[in-house]
Chains A and B, each alone.
Chain A
């Protein structure tokens, strides 16, 4: 079987397009590259959506943590404590068990005018259930990062905003928020990388890989189990993840440049890919 044929059969296997059966024997290098790469679709899916949605909740959590009212502050503090203080792996298990306990038939929502039958089956599938967990998890970590940045927004910036007559939403939108993002960005880049790596946990916790549609690590461990040779699939996986980690650093670096564009050239700092241990 030629490599082009393999690509046609397995390039989209992880989302159910192409050959149904996974290769069982005589694995070629091309098959391993193709299938592991195909699994990467799920890693990217989880990372992109969890980050994109989590970004907003992170901002919300950070703002709630600085709120003077304890009714806003306390829940935010507990949210961050629970999700940062416990392992993501346990969170996956917990949510999966909780979601499977939901009634199979769906929940009858009795709104005043209409009755809605909300199906709950899809929540136990990885694409939704695991995404919810990752979204909440990254929101807690992101919230902590943004909270730290929010507290170190320079006093002078805020006073200048007051002097110019900015207040409320406009002050937040134009002054506080951009500065917060600028300060938080290196740490947030790190969080994005760790989140991307954490997506490999999904199919190793309780979420089942339905019809063998799994992520990159799922396929890598499939090959390692079948061939009993870890020295080919895992380096392929490592190669893919190295490339994508570099891509994340590059992408976030561009945003970092935009966030810092008003600063004089000399005081602009590039986003150095530093290893910070925030998770």
Chain B
């Protein structure tokens, strides 16, 4: 990065540190922070979509759909989330490949599971064996996001269905009296009104999501945990910047990063909460009114 970094062996003190912290690998480490935040931002809409699906299914008048909606939330609640993080990507990958296999190679006569192997024809592989490296990495990240969306979708479904139940019944009955259909009631009355009730749960969910992001490491994503282990491990003199085992310091840095992230989120969410409860007929809204009056 700096010109004087050309020969690391001669460096001392501050210059050594400044060169060490700007090596190409460290740049990838800093990038991975953005990757983690980016993945979180991608996961949120996906999880909300799952959550909406689950919450609406749990309210459905069709019994099997209702069971699915309720069972989904209950299942994710009863089983450790990390089990899902390990299960969903693998299961999804095999499911997709199996479906492609059925479509693309109908005249394949061998069983898919041969002993301890899962074999599909070459055209059904996802991504194709000949695909470039970045496609494999992107596919891995998509599977990871799907796993996160599945788990957090269940939590969101619970929060949203609670919020939907909290919307005053009279509102819905009035809409019905005006001759709205069920779909119209949901779109025009139920969903706009439930956000205030959903916000505390959703902000809590955001915090849980932040704290679940290091688990991306287990899914093979090159995230901050991966780089902290990689960079912090002791480097012999064969490396340009030899140092003893510094993983403790790298993990301390991660700890500080997460503390900062949760603190900033907490402040932001409490602002949002204040903004949303302005003018509401709730205790928080009333307190704001009194404070200004």
Whether A266 is near chain B, meaning CB under 8 Å from some CB there, is no
Nearest Cβ on chain B to A134's Cβ, whole angstroms = 13
* List of B residues within 8 angstroms of A197 by Cβ: 79-82
A96 CB, nearest partner CB in chain B, Å = 9
- Which of B82, B116, B262 sits near A201, CB closer than 8 Å? B82
Do B94 and A200 touch (CB < 8 A)?
A: no
* Interface-side segment among B83-91, B174-182, B188-196, B267-275: B83-91
The interface bits of chain B over 175-209 (1 if a CB of A lies within 8 angstroms of the residue's CB, else 0) are 00000000000000000000000000100110010
Contact indicator A90/B79 (Cβ below 8 Å): no
B208-231 residues with Cβ-Cβ distance < 8 A to A are 208, 210-215, 217-218, 225, 228-229
- A48-56, A155-163, A237-245: which lies at the interface: A237-245
Residues of B within 8 Å of A86, CB to CB, are 211, 255, 258-259, 262
Q: In the docked arrangement, what's the CA distance between A198 and B214, Å?
A: 14
Contact of A228 among B116, B215, B217, B252 (CB under 8 A): B116
A234 nearest in chain B by CB position: B87
Interface string of A104-142 (1 = CB under 8 A from B): 000000000000000000000000000000000000000
- List of A residues within 8 angstroms of B225 by Cβ: 89-90, 93
Contact (Cβ within 8 A) A228 B117: yes
A217 touches B248 (CB 8 A): no
Cβ of A97 within 8 Å of any chain B Cβ, yes or no, is yes
Q: How far is the CB of A124 from chain B (nearest CB, A)?
A: 13
In chain A, positions 220-279 with a C-beta closer than 8 Å to chain B are 220-221, 224, 226-231, 234, 237-238, 241-242, 245-246, 275, 277-279
The verdict on A98 contacting chain B, using a C-beta distance below 8 Å, is yes
What is the size category of the interface that chain B forms with chain A?
A: 35 or more
User: B278 contacts which chain A residues (CB < 8 A)?
Assistant: none
B158 interface residue (CB < 8 Å to A): yes
Residue among A217, A220, A238, A241 with the most chain B CB within 10 A?
A238
**Is A277 within 8 A of B255, CB to CB?**
no
How far does the Cβ of B230 sit from chain A's closest Cβ, in whole Å?
Answer: 13
CB pair B78 A278 closer than 8 Å? no
New contact pairs (6) apart from A217-B83, A220-B83, A277-B201, CB-CB < 8 Å: A25-B115, A82-B255, A97-B247, A197-B82, A238-B79, A241-B78
Q: Give 14 pairs: A residue, B residue, CB < 8 Å, sorted on A.
A: A25-B115, A82-B259, A88-B211, A97-B248, A197-B82, A200-B83, A217-B82, A220-B86, A230-B87, A230-B90, A230-B91, A234-B83, A241-B80, A277-B155
